[in-house]
Amino acid sequence: MNSSSPILLFDSGVGGLTVLGEVRAALPQAPVIYAADMAGLPYGTKSEAEVAARVAGLLGRMAERYQPRLICIACNTASTIALGMVREVLETPIVGTVPAIKPAAALTETGVFGLLGTEATMRQKYVDDLEHAFAVGKRLLRHGANDLVPLAEAKLRGERVSIDAVAEAAKGLVLQEHGREMDTIVLACTHFPLLEDELREAYGADMRFVHGAEGIARRIASLTEGQDFERSGPDRAITTGELEDFERLAPAFARYGLDRLEKF
């Protein structure tokens, strides 16, 4: 393998930067391409067939063009829907992002915990299977909060995000039966950790938030252990959308070590 072969992180937008931050901490020397399907955003309102076809098609073309050593689907919605299909069609190692139900079930002290993600993620059998495997004897409350995605994107652009808007988008979780007993929430969308401060203010300072970025980074480090890394140029972010719009995010990308922005 070429030592300059990148790790490709793919997301519908900028939420996957929360995963990239942990990958940087684990593998600071690794060359990275961050791929944002801005033309396809948001995934949470699309059908399963639309998401599966789009993700598989884009990753097939990106794998051919960039020859990554590993692909991380840094998006819960895309992973819960398309991970199996992508693994079937690509020989590149694939790491997915799935809701951190297992650690959250172990953390909850009241026995009631929440799952906050997109509407598409909430209805996946993958999530049902995780609940049945790891939350026996516990109560898992679910809420699809699609409106948090644009709020997270706005915050990353440096715009002011209202606590009231975040609380309104997320309130459906706590308003459910037993919602007041909830002490732990799984952030099952990589965008949502960008709003953790606002969510903590909305839900209360004692609420625990769990997401899988650190575990994903550990998995990537394990799969690439012993490999040589060498940058042949600056790390970059690519977009399926308009480059002019993407370039407005340049300061945010620079904070994650992505110094070159390109149109895919």
Q: 7-97+214-263 with 101-211: one CATH topology?
A: yes
Active site residues: 75, 189
Query: For 58-100, how does the pLDDT look when each residue is reduced to its tens digit (9 = 90+)?
Result: 999 999 999 999 999 999 999 999 999 999 999 999 999 989 9
Q: Which two tokens stand for residue 101?
A: 């139900």
Domain boundary assignment for the chain: 7-97+214-263, 101-211
Considering the entire predicted model, what is its pTM? Answer: 0.92
pLDDT 10s digits, 116-161: 999 999 999 999 999 999 999 999 999 999 999 999 999 988 899 9
Q: Which pLDDT belongs to residue 157? A: 87
- What is 78-130 written as a DSSP string? HHHHHHHHHHHH--S-EE-----HHHHHHH-SSSEEEEEE-HHHHT-HHHHHH
What CATH fold (topology level) applies to the domain 101-211? Answer: Rossmann fold (3.40.50)
pLDDT tens digits, one per residue of 173-213:
999 999 999 999 999 999 999 999 999 999 999 999 999 99
3-state secondary structure of 56: helix
pLDDT in tens, 98-116: 899 999 999 999 999 999 9
Which strands, in side-by-side order, build the sheet including 112-117? Answer: 139-144, 112-117, 184-187, 208-210
Domain 7-97+214-263 classification at class level: alpha beta
